[in-house]
Amino acid sequence: MNRGGWTLRPDKENPASIGYMERGDNFEHYYDVAINYLGKVISEGKHDLKLSYEGLWENECNWNTAKDDDILFAIPMLKGTTSRYGYNIGVTIAEGKHEYGSARNYLTFNGTYIFSFDKDDLRRDVTCAPYKYTKDLEQELDMGIGAMGAGKWSKLKMKSPLGSSSGSGTGINSVRMRFADVLLLYAEAVNERFGPRDDAKEALKRVRRRAFNSSVWTTKVESYVGGLNSEEEFFKAIMNERKWEFGGEGLRRYDLARWNQFGKVIYDLYNEMVNWGLVAYGTHVEGIDDVPTSIYYKSVADPINAGRKILDIVGIDEYVHAKPQGYDEKEYALTWRVLNKETQEYETAKEISWSFRGFINVTNDKIVKPTDPLRYVCPYPTKVITDHRGLIQNYYGF
């Protein structure tokens, strides 16, 4: 699929140029190869999505891969020695007397991501963790422009905790290929070659059936997929489905590159965040009716773990603009614009203005276009160029 997709190429005549996106003339051949081999995996019937989405990741956090289910290939890790899943990738846990040790999450989701899910999508609350844990294992709110952990990997899911002094070396495997990926890649490839054929739609439906309770399959699966009748509509649905299915798993940047959608998605995301701040302060922005100006929360007893507290969070399923009685308030999109003390005017927060500074930022956001190529490659270090005695050089504007 990558070979049949797009890639950034250098302008050999102008090394200072970002370059251009290019796709091979025979890309259809590689989609046909993908359809053939992905189709074999599906038709053999050895794998399925029998486990719930939550059960899948609970298994992973307990060093248990179900046979013939979603996981096709994972890089094995050794408990107590390797893996930062659940430590630097997961949910933050403060060190304390408890037996789970500490976790210092470095992977966070963008502040709009959790709101992109359907409120009935079971993947949302598994993937997004809008909280962190204190030393007493009580939840604290952890939401913001770029502050939200990846709930798929958590030491608190472990049935045999690693001990109070444990840090990294969780032993949680690095999942590289899932059957859900096979289904969505197959659906994408078929659509690319033949449009939204019935077998492509069924592959997408299989992924969504696990994502929703069976009580809403009629609307969230059958009607939703059944209404995708053009190649463009189906492709956009595949783009979204992969965003929701694989959150935090490290696939998105590669998907966006091969689709030639990297620049557009970052352009849209930057402007979405800017506009959320504007709408929060009452500015009319076409296409955005409402935003989560604030989030409300309170601590309640954990129904599963006696003596602990978890958060009851209001404002994610539905936007709420008045504080419910008994809840605390955290300003959300309201903080995405800040007062400039010198000009006494509100402006977009720096965390947004400069998050994508190599492509779009506050100094060039009026001239950057969504069709501009995004430079997703890294430069050769100076020493590498020197060691190769001029046989290689940097392009892409480096």
Determine the pLDDT at residue 179. Answer: 99
> CA 364, CA 345: separation in Å to the nearest integer?
20
Per-residue pLDDT band for 325 (boundaries 50, 70, 90) equals very high
The first and second tokens of residue 249, run together, are 């798993």
Per-residue pLDDT band for 147 (boundaries 50, 70, 90) equals confident
- Which are the contacts of 368, defined by CB distance < 8 A and separation ≥ 6? 267, 359, 360
Determine the pLDDT at residue 345. Answer: 92
Q: pLDDT digits over 183-203, tens only?
A: 999 999 999 999 999 999 999
Asked if the model's pLDDT at residue 293 lies above 90, the reply is yes
Q: Find where tokens 């798929």 sit.
A: 152
Determine the pLDDT at residue 250. Answer: 95
Per-residue pLDDT band for 290 (boundaries 50, 70, 90) equals very high
The first and second tokens of residue 97, run together, are 């007397």
Please provide the average confidence, as pLDDT, over all residues in the chain.
97
Asked if the model's pLDDT at residue 390 lies above 90, the reply is no
8 A C-beta contact, residue 231 and residue 196:
yes
Of 42, 47, 35, 40, nearest in space to 197 by CA:
35
Instruction: Count the residues in the chain.
Output: 398
Determine the pLDDT at residue 210. Answer: 99
Determine the pLDDT at residue 377. Answer: 94
Q: pLDDT digits over 46-85, tens only?
A: 999 999 999 999 999 999 988 899 999 999 999 999 999 9
Q: Please give the average per-residue pLDDT across 25-48, as a whole number.
A: 97
Q: What b/e sequence results for 200-230 when a residue is b if at least 16 CB atoms lie within 10 Å of its CB, and e otherwise? A: bbebbbbbbebbbeeeeeeebbeebbeebee
Domain coordinates of the chain in residue numbers?
6-49+177-260
Q: Please give the average per-residue pLDDT across 148-167, as a whole number.
A: 96
Determine the pLDDT at residue 382. Answer: 94
Determine the pLDDT at residue 355. Answer: 94
> CA 353, CA 373: separation in Å to the nearest integer?
19
Q: What is the CATH number of domain 6-49+177-260?
A: 1.25.40.900
- Which are the contacts of 49, defined by CB distance < 8 A and separation ≥ 6? 69, 70, 179, 180, 206, 207, 209, 210
The first and second tokens of residue 40, run together, are 């074999």
> CA 199, CA 215: separation in Å to the nearest integer?
23
Strands 20-23 and 174-178: unpaired
| Least confident among 65-69, 215-219, 345-349, 362-366 | 65-69
**Alpha-carbon distance values, 48 to 68, 152, 209 (Å):** 7, 20, 12
Asked if the model's pLDDT at residue 93 lies above 90, the reply is yes
- Which are the contacts of 260, defined by CB distance < 8 A and separation ≥ 6? 5, 6, 21, 23
- Which are the contacts of 4, defined by CB distance < 8 A and separation ≥ 6? 23, 24, 27, 28, 29, 30, 31, 34, 189, 192, 258
Q: Where are the alpha helices (DSSP H) in the chain?
A: 27-44, 53-61, 113-116, 124-127, 179-194, 198-211, 217, 224-226, 231-245, 252-258, 262-280, 350-353, 382-387
Per-residue pLDDT band for 348 (boundaries 50, 70, 90) equals very high
